[in-house]
Structure 1
Amino acid sequence: MRDLGQRCGDVLGDGRVKRHEGLRISCRVIGRYRLGQLDAPAVASWLGLEYGCIAVGSPPKPGGNITDPWSNLGVVKLDSHQLAAFAAVIELGSFDAAAERLHVTPSAISQRIKALEQRVGQVLVVREKPCRATMAGVPLLRLAAQTEILEAEALAETAGGRTDRTRIAIAVNADSMATWFHTVFARLPAVLLDIRIEDQDHSARLLREGAVMGAVTTERTAVPGCRVQSLGVMRYVPVAAERYVREYLPDGFIAPAVATAPSLAWNRDDALQDNLVRQVFRRPIDRPVHHVPTAEGFGAAVRAGLGWGMYPEQLVTADFVRVVDAHLDVPLFWQSWKLDSAVVGAVGAAVRHAAAGLRSG
C-alpha cells in the first residue's frame, strides 16, 4: 500500500477516485486495479466496504456511490473469516488442523465452510484426507492468499513496519534448490517461507490452484493472473558410476544395452531420461527404471551403481562418468502473481538475482 492517509471517495467508471471524506484508502492502488479481478482481491475491502467482506464482481457503475457499494456492484459478499477458514483447511488438509491454527473449534470451521459454500452456491472442499479444493474453490483459494499478503502490507505501513511476517508459498524443483535457489534466502524480505518441492514441469499447477504465489517452472506461457520472467537454462548430463558402466554399458550407450540397463528417474513424472534417449536414438526405448524422489538420494543411487540418470552439471563430480556425449538444456522461468505487492516484487527480485549464474537461454 502507498499513500495511506489520503481521503478518497466515489469510484468513477474509468477507475479514478473522486475525493470524499470518511474513507482512508490508496489512490495509487485503485488506479492500477479493477474490481472483480482475482489478482487484486483486496481493493474492494479497501474502498470502505463492509469490514471483513471482499467484493468479487464487476466494477461499480459510473458515478456509483461508494457509501453503498453493494447496490452498485451487484456482487456476492464474502466474509473474510470464512475465506480464512477455507484457506486453512486446504493448506493444512483437515478441519481440526485449521481450527487449531485459527484458535476456534472444528465445529466453527465446519460452519464457516458451509456458510461460504452456501454463499457462492458451490461445493468448495473435497472432504477427504487430506482435504483439497474443488475447481470452484480454486479462485477463492487464490483470493484468500492474495488478500492476506495485501492486508499484511497495508497493516505494516500503517504500523510503521511493525507487524507479523507474511507467509509466502513458493514452488521450486529439487535440482534448483540443490544448485542455486538456496542463495535466495539471504536476499528475502522479512517473510515466513513455505517452500513446496515440485517437479519443474508441474510446478505451475500449484500457481493455478492458488497454493503458491510464485513458482520456478518450465512453462513459458503465463498462468492466468501471473507474470512470467526468464531465469536461464539448467543443463543436465547423463551420468553413472564407473562400475555400472563396466557392467551394463561395456560397449557404450547403444540401444540393446540401454533397453536392459537400469536407469533412474525422480518419479513417474520425470521425463528427462526419456527425452535423452529420444534425442540419442530418435525413438523411445523401454527400460527398467528406479524411482528415487530426492536430490540427495538420486545422487547416492548414481554413485552406488544403481542406474544411470540425468544430473545437473553443477553437481557432477569426479566419481561420475558421462555415459554418452549428450546433454539436455531445460529453460527455467519464474512465474508469480501479477500483484502490486512489495513482498511479491522483492521475492521475484531475489529469485532473479540467485538465478544469474544459470546458463543463458
Structure 2
Amino acid sequence: MIDYALLAAVAAIRRTGGFEKAGRELGITSSAVSQRVRLLEERLGVALVIRGQPCRTTEAGARLCQHYDQVGLLEHTLNRELGFDANDGTAAVLRIAVNADSLATWFPDAMKEIDGRLFDIILDDERRNADWLRKGEVSGAISASPGPLQGCNSKMLGTMRYVATASATFMQRWFSEGITEGALRSAPALAYNADDEFNIRWVREALQLSLIPPTHWIPAPQALVRAAMDGIGWGMNPLPLVEAALRDGSLVELPPGLRLDVRLHWHWARSVQHAMSDLTASIVKAARLGLTAGL
C-alpha cells in the first residue's frame, strides 16, 4: 500500500520545485520533507525525486504524483456528492497541459467556473501537450492532436484562427513595395519561441515561399501583440487577441489575408472522467464562445 502522507511530500516538491517550498506548503520543515521522500523511496525501491534547481520527479515519481492528484479529485467529488465538509486545509489539484494562446484567450473562462480545486497548469505547445497526458503527468490536455489517446476521452473544441499582423508604420518601412521575398528576408518577425513555426507556415502557404525570416522570440502572447503594435516586427497572432487592434487601426493585416487555423481538442483521463465532468463542461462552454466553430 502507498502511504499517501509520504507521497504528499513528493507531490509538493513537483508543484513547488524544491524541498523548502514543499515544506512551507505542507507546514513542515524541509528536512521532514526529505525524510518522507527518502522513506517512500526506500519502501518502493525506486528513486522518485531528482535533486536540483529546481527539483524534478523521476518517471516513477511523476506517475505516483499523478495518481495522488487523481485520488484527490475522486475524494473531492465523493465528498461533494455525499455532502461532506472536508475542510482539512487541502485542495484537490487539477494538473492540465494548456497551450499559451489558449491560456491567453479563452481558457481562463473555463477555470473561473471551477470551485474547490487548484489548477496546476503545464504550459507547452499544443503539438506536444498530448505527450504530457500520454506519460501520465497530467489529467487533461488542450492539444492539436485529434486522438483519442489510450485510456482517455477526447472532444473537438473548435479552431484557433491566426492572422498575420503588423503596425501601419512597420508596413510602410519594410513592405512599402509589397510582401516580397527580399522584404521578408529583411523584415524582423515575431514568434513565441523556436518551436513557433506559424510565420514560416504563413509565408509558405500565402506566398509559396520557403524561408525563415529574422525573428524576435518573445514567449508571451500579449507581449507579441504589443510588440507588433509598437512596430518591432510582424507576426502571427490569435485572432481574439488582435480583433480590437485590427478594428481601430493599431494593427493591419498582411496581404493576401490568408489566415491559419489550428483545431484544438480536449483530452482527459477516463480514470477521473466523473471527477472532471464539470471541468469538461466548462471547457466546452468556454471554447464554444472563444474559438471558431470546428471547420
Of Structure 1 and Structure 2, the greater helix share is in: 2
Task: Say which of 115, 120, 124 aligns to 1:198.
Answer: 124
Contact kept, 8 Å, 1:189 with 1:343, in 2: the verdict is no
Query: C-alpha distance in 1, partners of 2:156/2:185?
Result: 36
Query: C-alpha distance in 2, partners of 1:107/1:290?
Result: 44
Q: Residue type matched to 1:100 in 2?
A: R
Deviates more, 1:163-172 or 1:292-301: 163-172
Aligned to 2:102: 176
Contact kept, 8 Å, 2:157 with 2:287, in 1: the verdict is yes
Query: C-alpha distance in 2, partners of 1:208/1:129?
Result: 26
Following superposition of structure 1 onto structure 2, how do residues 158-307 of structure 1 map, counting pairs within 5 Å? 158=82, 160-164=83-87, 165-307=91-233
Contact kept, 8 Å, 1:239 with 1:310, in 2: the verdict is yes
Aligned to 1:319: 250
Give 1 or 2 for the bigger CA radius of gyration. 1
Q: Residue type matched to 1:296 in 2?
A: Q
Q: Residue type matched to 2:146 in 1?
A: R
Q: Deviations over 1:52-91 (max 9, x none)?
A: xxxxxxxxxxxxxxxxxxxxxxxxx322122211111111
Following superposition of structure 1 onto structure 2, how do residues 42-57 of structure 1 map, counting pairs within 5 Å? none
Contact kept, 8 Å, 1:89 with 1:95, in 2: the verdict is yes
Query: C-alpha distance in 2, partners of 1:252/1:122?
Result: 61
Aligned to 1:336: 268
Cα 1:246/1:179, change in 2 over 3 Å: same
Task: Say which of 277, 287, 291 aligns to 1:355.
Answer: 287
- Taking only the aligned residue pairs, the percentage that are identical comes to 34
TM-score by length of 2: 0.87
Q: Deviations over 1:270-321 (max 9, x none)?
A: 1211221222344531321011121221111000111110012232323211
Aligned to 1:105: 29
Query: C-alpha distance in 1, partners of 2:74/2:114?
Result: 17
Contact kept, 8 Å, 2:63 with 2:137, in 1: the verdict is no
- Cα RMSD after superposing both structures: 2.2
Q: Residue type matched to 1:356 in 2?
A: R
Q: Residue type matched to 2:177 in 1?
A: D
Query: C-alpha distance in 2, partners of 1:211/1:98?
Result: 18
Aligned to 1:138: 62
Query: C-alpha distance in 2, partners of 1:154/1:231?
Result: 28
**SS of the residue aligned with 2:271?**
coil
Q: Deviations over 1:168-209 (max 9, x none)?
A: 233332322333223224433443333444332233344345
Q: Deviations over 1:97-116 (max 9, x none)?
A: 11222222322222222232
Query: C-alpha distance in 2, partners of 1:205/1:340?
Result: 18
Cα 1:300/1:335, change in 2 over 3 Å: same
Following superposition of structure 1 onto structure 2, how do residues 87-98 of structure 1 map, counting pairs within 5 Å? 87-98=11-22
Q: Which has the higher contact order (CA 8 A, sep 6+)?
A: 2
Query: What runs of 5+ residues in structure 2 fail to find an aligned partner?
Result: none
Q: Residue type matched to 1:162 in 2?
A: D
Aligned to 1:63: none
Query: C-alpha distance in 2, partners of 1:173/1:299?
Result: 17
Deviation at 1:211, TM superposition (A): 4.4
**SS of the residue aligned with 2:2?**
strand
